[in-house]
Amino acid sequence: MSLLASKGTNLAGIGTDAFSRRFDRFAPTLTEKAILAEFRSARHVVAKRKELVHESHTAPVAYILHDGWMCSYKRLPDGGRQVVNIQLPGDIVGLNSLFLQTSDQSIEALTDTIVSEIGRGQLLSAMRQSPRLAEAVMWSFARDEAIIAQHLANLGRRSALGRTAHFLLELGFRLQEAGRATASGYDCPLSQQLLADALGLTSIHFNRILRYLREKELLLFSGGAVEFLNRPALTQLAGFDPSYLEVAGS
């Protein structure tokens, strides 16, 4: 049983399309609603572990992620990889690749996912027709950059404990916004190894941090779920301020 179900959460809103939850605020007119409806059409399933975008290859489309989890990463000369970001329901994935000669990162499905595709011409046409939708696209760009900036701060300046708490709180905030989490926690399909890679930690060090957070009754990560045992104290520990994830003036 998932964390959401085990907590007796009202799941009525969980099935709501995450992209609609995030972007419908930018579409008050019938024309704009029609454009977003077209973006959401022609959905298809992408299987777990499938690579949608390969670094250094041309990427002709971006993806709206309706359900499931993805990650973007950089390949390293020794065969390893550095996770750059985790993509969650409601995200537009691979936007930057539409405007580059070749993609600067690879994108892989971490779970079975449901996506729809947006071509560069389709996106530019929508932005020309609607300044509000152009604003939405720019916000999505800015938000992605802000998330990556926080991840750089994690790797460069925050302690291992602080970066772990910050990262898990960030995922929780993003998932709650998408209707996939509650204030008490969320289902998390990521392996401890992938989380350790994203945080620049060894698996052993990451496990020690999880044990510390559990013993201090701050957070529990078990059975594919993150549970916040004391979210205010964890937020203070991490110095987590979610304003970088929110629309200006929201």
126 and 171: one domain? no
Q: What is the pLDDT of residues 60-119, one digit of tens each?
A: 899 999 999 999 999 888 877 889 999 999 999 999 888 888 898 999 999 999 999 999
If one compares 48 and 80, the residue with the highest pLDDT of the two is 48
Rounded to whole angstroms, the Cα distance separating 60 from 62 reads: 7
Closest alpha carbon to 219 in 243, 241, 186: 186
Q: In sequence order, what are the residues at sequence separation of 6 or more whose Cβ sits closer than 8 angstroms to the Cβ of residue 138? A: none
Q: Which residues pair with 7 in a beta bridge?
A: none
And the tokens for 39?
Answer: 């973006």
81 and 185: one domain? no
Question: Is 231 among the domain residues?
Answer: yes
CA 166 from chain centre, in angstroms, equals: 14
Percent of the chain whose pLDDT exceeds 90: 72
In the listed set 94, 119, 154, which residue is the last one of a domain according to the structure?
154
89 and 169: one domain? no
97 and 213: one domain? no
Q: State residue 11's pLDDT score.
A: 33
Q: Which domain holds residue 45?
A: 14-154
Question: Is 181 among the domain residues?
Answer: yes
And the tokens for 42?
Answer: 């022609």
**CATH code of residue 45:** 2.60.120.10
166 and 148: one domain? no
211 three-class SS? helix
- Residue 9 pLDDT exceeds 60: no
Closest alpha carbon to 139 in 189, 185, 201, 95: 95
24 and 136: one domain? yes
**Residue 238 · residue 162 · CB < 8 Å:** yes
**β pairing state of 106-109 and 51-53:** antiparallel
- Residue 4 pLDDT exceeds 70: no
Q: State residue 227's pLDDT score.
A: 98
Question: Is 6 among the domain residues?
Answer: no
- Residue 206 pLDDT exceeds 70: yes
Local confidence band at 44 (pLDDT 50, 70, 90 cut-offs) = very high
Q: State residue 152's pLDDT score.
A: 92
Q: State residue 16's pLDDT score.
A: 66
Q: State residue 248's pLDDT score.
A: 76
Q: State residue 68's pLDDT score.
A: 96
Q: What is the pTM assigned to this prediction? A: 0.90
131 and 203: one domain? no
In the listed set 104, 133, 154, which residue is the last one of a domain according to the structure?
154
Q: State residue 250's pLDDT score.
A: 56
Q: State residue 80's pLDDT score.
A: 78
Rounded to whole angstroms, the Cα distance separating 209 from 223 reads: 17
Mean per-residue pLDDT over the chain, rounded: 90
Q: State residue 2's pLDDT score.
A: 57
Local confidence band at 249 (pLDDT 50, 70, 90 cut-offs) = low
- Residue 10 pLDDT exceeds 60: no
First to last CA, the chain: 34
If one compares 11 and 110, the residue with the highest pLDDT of the two is 110
Q: What is the pLDDT of residues 127-185, one digit of tens each?
A: 999 999 999 999 999 999 999 999 999 998 899 999 999 999 999 999 999 999 999 99
147 and 203: one domain? no
Count how many domains the chain has. Answer: 2
105 and 29: one domain? yes
Q: How many CA atoms lie within 13 A of 162 on its CB side?
A: 15
Rounded to whole angstroms, the Cα distance separating 108 from 115 reads: 12
Rounded to whole angstroms, the Cα distance separating 133 from 168 reads: 30
**CATH code of residue 225:** 1.10.10.10
In the listed set 112, 133, 154, which residue is the last one of a domain according to the structure?
154
Closest alpha carbon to 108 in 19, 48, 192, 62: 48
